[in-house]
Amino acid sequence: MSENGKSLVLSGSGVTKIFGSGAKKVVAVNKVDFEFHEKELVSIVGESGSGKTTLVKMLLGLISVTEGDIYFMGEKRDIRSRRQKKEYWKGIQAIFQDPFSSYNMFHKIDSVLLDCINMRGGRSLPRPKKIEMITEACSFVNLKYAELTNKYPFELSGGQQQRLMIARIFLLKPKILLADEPTSMIDACSRATILDMLLGLRNETGMMIIFVTHDIGLAYYISDSVYIMERGRFVESGKADAVILSPSAEYTKRLINDVPKIHSPWDFTKAAEGASV
Ligand SMILES: Nc1ncnc2c1ncn2[C@@H]1O[C@H](COP(=O)(O)OP(=O)(O)O)[C@@H](O)[C@H]1O
Ligand SMILES: [Mg+2]
């Protein structure tokens, strides 16, 4: 049950999601097996429509699993009741592509962050202690609490909203963080910052991160392990170096060929020839 002495935090066997039935049936996730270990950063990589978000929603318990089993901290997951779900969400949290979907926009930033402390059992802490924790979480993501207090999330820029989501995770300290394309709607500069913050979170808190992306170059840069997803199936998985530097599936090779910078540096001589024709 362990790899290099690290225990399994989340695993699954034959996990499947079928939407609809009859002619409208869509097998979005098709019998996937996976093993995620503590402190690991795993990327799930695939093109749009390959089933990544559907898998994330099943892992999070937002939608039901049609077939197969999910194991959390070594035990078969049971989140049938509302109480069990709330308990489960102390251990697993997510940030999404669109920060608007992550919190109630009509709650001020103060209450968004206070809720996190309350969820972690800090409801009875003295107020100055709560403010200190919030200030620390904000400074972890380079935000100043004094500039956020009494504001609403929608008053922040896109990059600031993503950072606020990470401040929430810093306070919630889940065992597992699911990040579904968290950087695809922000500019390159904010993207690098967000990635650094996610890596910082992992180093600081030891949380396991599942990073979902269509960008195999990005996955190579940040992951320990990768799972390559094509039309609902995992076609290949393993250590990021092994899979991306010597891929075996045709699909992985194609994803890599779409990112020329991994293998071949820019060939300026050819570019110059092209220009003279
Ligand atoms: N609620 C739904 N009802 C029907 N089909 C869905 C639903 N959600 C996703 N799908 C389908 O499942 C497939 C996988 O979608 P998704 O998980 O969003 O992929 P990805 O996140 O990799 O882009 C797609 O064909 C999509 O149209
Ligand atoms: Mg998606």
Distance between CA 220 and CA 164 in Å, rounded? 26
CA of 52 to the centre of ligand 1 (A): 8
Q: What are phi and psi of 20, to 5 degrees?
A: 65, -175
Read off the tokens for 178: 């699911």
* Ligand 1 pocket, residue 48 CB under 6 Å: yes
CA of 9 to the centre of ligand 2 (A): 23
Atom 4 in ligand 1: residue holding the nearest Cα: 19
Rg, C-alpha atoms of the chain: 20
CATH label, 2-101+176-276, candidates 3.40.50.150, 3.90.100.10, 3.40.630.30, 3.40.50.300: 3.40.50.300
Distance between CA 87 and CA 76 in Å, rounded? 14
Neighbour tally for 111: CB within 10 Å: 13
CA of 189 to the centre of ligand 2 (A): 22
CA of 47 to the centre of ligand 2 (A): 9
pLDDT at 261: 57
Position in ligand 1 atom list of the atom nearest CA 63: 1
pLDDT at 97: 75
* Ligand 1 pocket, residue 21 CB under 6 Å: no
pLDDT at 275: 45
* Ligand 1 pocket, residue 54 CB under 6 Å: yes
CB 30 within 8 A of CB 24: no
Strand boundaries in the chain, DSSP class E: 2-3, 6-19, 26-37, 41-45, 67-72, 75-76, 92-95, 176-180, 208-213, 225-230, 233-239
Residue type, 1: M
Atom 27 in ligand 1: residue holding the nearest Cα: 49
* Ligand 1 pocket, residue 19 CB under 6 Å: yes
Task: Name the residue of 54, 56, 62 whose CB sits within 8 Å of the most ligand 1 atoms, as the mutation to test its pocket.
Answer: 54
Taking phi over 0 as left and psi of -120 to 50 as alpha, with beta for the rest, 42 belongs to beta
Predicted TM-score of the model (pTM): 0.88
Position in ligand 1 atom list of the atom nearest CA 214: 22
Distance between CA 117 and CA 109 in Å, rounded? 13
- Per-residue pLDDT of the chain in tens (277 residues, 90 and over written 9): 556 678 999 999 999 999 999 999 999 999 999 999 999 999 999 999 999 999 999 999 999 999 999 999 999 999 999 999 999 999 999 988 776 666 667 889 999 999 999 988 999 999 999 999 999 999 999 999 999 999 998 898 888 888 898 999 999 999 999 999 887 767 777 778 888 899 999 998 899 999 999 999 999 999 999 999 999 999 999 999 999 999 999 999 999 988 755 445 555 555 444 444 3
Q: What is the largest CA-CA distance in the chain?
A: 74
